[in-house]
């Protein structure tokens, strides 16, 4: 038996999962989202990753980035290593891809701020 808290909405239902053969039986969920959340957590847990990358610009030394989808939980350290290895040496707009298909997950790492704007605002 496993216990989980559903994080799909602020109610935060307390879920119980019991394996029955190859299937998981989920209890405690007030809606179907909770059942799907628990099954995903138990069989293929994934997370979005938010971080920053280095830049060569003195006044904007780091630019916020995030994955444009969820990556497998066991790939997060490898994803962070790839993010940490980036040094951006050209301006990018918000939403531009910084790392394509990070760690072969099919997910991209994208900019969440506009470096053109930040550089202009800082007078560079």
Closest distance of CB 43 from ligand SF4, Å: 17
Region from 31-39, 77-85, 90-98, 101-109 binding ligand SF4, contact rule CB under 6 A = 31-39
For the four alpha carbons of 86, 51, 93 and 99, in that order, the dihedral sign comes to: positive
Q: How many Cβ atoms from other residues are within 10 Å of residue 72's Cβ? A: 15
Q: CB–CB of 60/115 below 8 Å? A: yes
Q: CB–CB of 16/1 below 8 Å? A: yes
Between 7 and 85, name the residue whose CB sits nearer to ligand SF4.
Answer: 7
Kindly tell me which residue out of 2, 9, 47, 81 binds ligand SF4, with binding defined by CB under 6 A: 9
Closest distance of CB 22 from ligand SF4, Å: 23
Q: CB–CB of 110/50 below 8 Å? A: no
- Distance in angstroms (rounded) separating the CA atoms of residues 83 and 119: 21
Look up residue 60 and give its DSSP letter. Answer: S
Closest distance of CB 14 from ligand SF4, Å: 9
Between 70 and 96, name the residue whose CB sits nearer to ligand SF4.
Answer: 70
Closest distance of CB 16 from ligand SF4, Å: 12
Positions in the binding site for ligand SF4 (CB under 6 A): 6, 8-9, 11-13, 29-31, 33-34
């Amino acid at each position: 038996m496993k216990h989980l808290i559903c994080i799909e909405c602020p109610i935060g239902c307390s879920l119980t999962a019991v394996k029955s053969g190859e299937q998981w039986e989920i209890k405690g969920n007030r809606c179907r989202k909770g059942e799907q959340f628990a099954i995903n957590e138990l069989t293929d847990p994934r997370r979005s990753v938010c971080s920053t990358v280095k830049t060569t610009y003195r006044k904007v030394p780091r630019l916020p980035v995030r994955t444009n989808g969820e990556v497998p939980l066991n790939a997060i350290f490898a994803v962070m290593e790839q993010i940490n290895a980036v040094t951006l040496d050209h301006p990018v707009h918000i939403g531009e891809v910084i790392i394509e298909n990070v760690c072969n997950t099919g997910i991209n790492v994208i900019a969440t701020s506009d470096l053109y704007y930040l550089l202009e605002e800082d007078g560079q």
